Structures are given as C-alpha cells and as structure tokens.
C-alpha cells in the first residue's frame, strides 16, 4: 500500500468533486473503462469526492458528458505539480538540487566517533587504534567494516574484554568492556616468603603454607618477613631446611596521616556577573574564529563549550560550534572564626588522608590532632585501618 501511494505521488494525482444525478453510472463507466478511482467518499446524494491519476483524469471527459455530471478539481498532489510550480524559479530549484547532493555527500562520511565504557584504557589510544583500522572522521562509511575492526581491536588492545563497533548514520559508537586484571601471582612451584607491604601492627595472621615469624600485636615495618617459606628441621638441624611456597593471610592495623594548615584569612573567587563570549566554527577539523575580541577582565574564568551540530540522534555534521566563555571574578578576603577555620582544615586533612587508603582496607576510626609549629596552627588527620599487608616474595638464591 505504501509503495502504491508513493507511486501515485511521483506520477501525480488530483482530488475531484463530482456532482450530478447519475453518480453511480459515472463510477460504473469509469470502472468499466479501467479508470482507477480511490478514496471515493459520498458527501451528499448528488455529490462525491474521489482521487485519480493525472492520466485517468484526462480520460473522464467523455464519461462526464455521457452522465451529465459536473467535475471540478479541489487539490493537485504529486511531483509533477511541484515541478510545475517552481519551473520559473530556477535559482530555487538549482539550490534545492545542490543541497540534496551536498546532503547525500555529507551523509556518506563518518563525522563523529563516541567511545564508552573505558576507564583505564585512554580514549586517545582507542581512537588511535580505530584510525589504524580505517575509522576516523572524514572516512567513507562504505569502507568501514565494523565486525573486522572490532576483531582487530581485540587483538591489538590486551586490556579489553569486549568491544562493540556500531555505525549509525554518520556516527560510530564504540562500547568497550575492560578486562579485570588478575593479581600477579608467583608460581606455587617457586619457593617464596610473605613480607610486609607497609608498616603496621599485626591484627591477625594465618599461615596455610610456611611458618609464621611474627605474632598478633607485633609491630612490623615495610619489607619485614611475616611468613617464611624456609622451615628448619627442629629434630635434626643438620638436615637441609624444607623450602615451600608460603601461603597465608596477614592483617595489620595501619595508619594514614595528612596535615592541613588552619587559615582564618580565606581567599575566595566570586563572579561579578560580567561575561564575554567568543565564537568559533570548526569545519572539517579546521578552526575559524568568528567573533573574537580582547578580554577586558583582569581576572577571568575560562569555560570552553563545544556544540556538535547534528540532525537527529545519529546524523552528525562536520561542523562544531565552539564557544569560549569568560567570566569575570573578584578575589575576596574573608576573615573567619577559629572554629570554622579548624573545621575546614580538618575536612581537608581527612580528604588528603583518605586518598592514600587502598580500596581493600577497612577504616576503623578517624582522629584529628591539633598542633602548632613555626608556621602557625595546623591539624593532623590520622585514619586507622585494617588491611592485608602480606605480599609474596621469591626466596633469593633458590
């Protein structure tokens, strides 16, 4: 049905009103003469509307005279009438044709590449590999084989567990899943000890293979032996020791510290409300400055905003609007009370200390210590944790 409607639109058709007392006879004769009528709608007993092609309309004159009906056209639809309407507007027609050709050419290239799901693997490295495999801005879509590119990328980037390359419109969507790296393990056939990865106080120790060299409550330092894989024969010390691959868990209480200065003079930047914008157009990776002038502010904050020009979700154009926004600000010196200054310093110290804590560590408590030195008042944040500090180390010379 859709194909038939499209065909009628290309060839052109008219909507007519037929009036008379022999409308049934008019329709029957048209049907007998293979004049196709559709969308026939009775409006009154002596009035009916219908659609027919341009060619069939030229054949109904004898039928009209025979049935003594009156016919007039209400609407003209289709490509022939559109062309006839603009036959004297050559510039408009030429411009329309040029726009259609330009649109077709632009839609034949890739103009945007979006990468999702990556954390450890940089977007730049993924884009570089895509370029090596034939996908970059400006490449013909018909030359892109997404399945082949995905297979090559899996072989080239070892840190990926999965990659999906999908081409939609003029955009390429790259969705990746990164591979979780297994911990570095020493072959169990290789003799090794377990040593401390950092300083701490032993909280618990369990040796599945090997011999414990420290006990709960002992203070240990980084690199100190915790579980040895070299076990002497107690009954007969003259015999060579048993060498094993140590396996065990050693948890310790650890502490992470950070300091921050207590400052009552707080300098803040406050926007004045004045703003200046500079516009640039990026066309085929080339930047063209449109409205640029001198920035009249002594202190300003720069914000860059890129707007990709698109038609719909999947049709990106090779144009980008770049807006450089400059916000004027003033520096304000604010005097705050001691209590507020200590609170801000404590929050900053805790934040700095927390950045040092590994993900697997369990935080027990946080302490804030105030002190004063030659530089003035300051606070120290001390965070106590429990974590596994044991790491394997090969026994040298074995």
Residue 374's pLDDT band (cuts 50, 70, 90): confident
Q: Based on the domain organization, do 74 and 29 belong to the same domain?
A: yes
CA distance linking residue 392 with residue 193, whole number of Å:
6
Same domain, 12 and 73: yes
Q: Is residue 364 part of a domain?
A: no
9 and 64 in a single domain? The answer is yes
**Residue 127 burial (CB < 10 Å; 0-12/13-18/19+)?**
middle
Predicted confidence at residue 327, as pLDDT, reads 92
**Closest listed residue to residue 59, CA positions, set 30, 16, 32, 28:** 30
- According to the model, what pLDDT value does residue 142 have? 85
| Residue 365 pLDDT greater than 80, yes or no | yes
Whole-number pLDDT of residue 397? 46
Domain-terminating residue out of 148, 178, 208: 178
- How far apart are alpha carbons 37 and 50 in whole angstroms? 6
pLDDT given at position 186: 64
Kindly report the average pLDDT of the chain as a whole number: 86
Is 92 domain-assigned? no
User: Sign of torsion, CA 209 211 217 219?
Assistant: negative
User: In this structure, what DSSP letter does residue 14 have?
Assistant: E
Give me the DSSP letters along 324-343: EEEEEEEEEEEE--HHHHHH
CATH of the domain at 152: 3.10.20.310
In a domain, 258, yes or no: no
User: 50 lies in which domain range?
Assistant: 2-83
Asked if 131 and 169 sit in the same domain, the reply is yes
- C-alpha 227 chain-centroid distance: 47
Q: Do residues 249 and 269 both lie within one domain?
A: no
In this predicted model, what pLDDT tens digit does every residue of 206-222 receive, in sequence order?
Answer: 999 888 999 999 999 99
pLDDT bin (cut points 50, 70, 90) of residue 12 is: confident
One domain for residues 198 and 227? yes
Q: Are 134 and 144 in contact (CB under 8 A)?
A: yes
Q: Are 156 and 210 within one domain?
A: no
Question: What's the pLDDT at 184?
Answer: 64
Query: What is the predicted pLDDT for the residue at 398?
Result: 42
pTM for the model stands at: 0.53
Domain count of the chain? Answer: 4
pLDDT digits (tens, 9 = 90+) for 18-73: 888 888 888 888 888 888 888 888 887 788 898 898 888 888 888 888 888 888 88
CATH number, residue 58: 3.30.70.250
């Amino acid at each position: 049905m859709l194909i038939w409607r499209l065909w009628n639109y290309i060839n052109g058709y008219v909507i007519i009103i037929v009036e008379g007392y022999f409308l049934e006879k008019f329709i029957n004769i048209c049907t007998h003469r293979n004049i196709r009528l559709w969308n026939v709608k009775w409006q009154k007993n002596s009035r009916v509307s219908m659609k027919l092609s341009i060619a069939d309309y030229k054949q109904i004159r004898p039928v009209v005279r025979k049935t003594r009906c009156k016919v007039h056209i209400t609407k003209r639809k289709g490509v022939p009438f559109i062309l006839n309407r603009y036959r004297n507007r050559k510039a408009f027609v030429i411009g329309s044709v040029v726009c259609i050709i330009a649109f077709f050419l632009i839609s034949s290239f890739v103009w945007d590449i979006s990468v999702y799901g990556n954390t450890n693997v940089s977007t730049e490295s993924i884009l570089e590999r895509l370029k090596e495999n034939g996908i970059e801005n400006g490449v013909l879509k018909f030359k892109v084989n997404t399945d082949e590119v995905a297979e090559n990328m899996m072989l080239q980037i070892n840190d990926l567990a999965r990659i999906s390359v999908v081409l939609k419109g003029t955009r390429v969507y790259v969705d990746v899943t990164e591979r979780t790296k297994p911990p570095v393990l020493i072959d169990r056939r290789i003799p090794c000890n377990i040593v401390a990865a950092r300083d701490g106080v032993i909280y618990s120790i369990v040796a599945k293979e090997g011999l414990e060299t420290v006990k709960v409550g002992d203070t240990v330092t980084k690199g100190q032996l915790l579980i040895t894989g070299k076990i002497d024969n107690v009954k007969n010390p003259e015999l060579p020791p048993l060498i094993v691959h140590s396996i065990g868990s050693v948890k310790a209480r650890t502490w992470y510290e950070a300091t921050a200065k207590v400052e009552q003079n707080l300098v803040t930047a406050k926007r004045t409300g004045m703003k200046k914008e500079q516009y640039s157009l990026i066309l085929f990776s080339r930047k063209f400055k449109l409205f640029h002038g001198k920035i009249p502010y002594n202190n300003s904050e720069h914000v860059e905003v890129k707007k990709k020009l698109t038609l719909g979700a999947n049709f990106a154009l090779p144009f980008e609007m770049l807006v450089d926004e400059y916000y004027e600000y003033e520096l304000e010196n604010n005097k705050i009370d001691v209590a507020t200054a200590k609170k801000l310093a404590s929050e900053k110290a805790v934040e700095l200390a927390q950045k040092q804590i590994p993900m697997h560590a369990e935080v027990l408590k946080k302490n804030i210590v105030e002190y004063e030195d030659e530089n003035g008042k300051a606070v120290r944040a001390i965070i106590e944790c429990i974590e596994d500090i044991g790491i394997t180390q090969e026994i040298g010379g074995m």
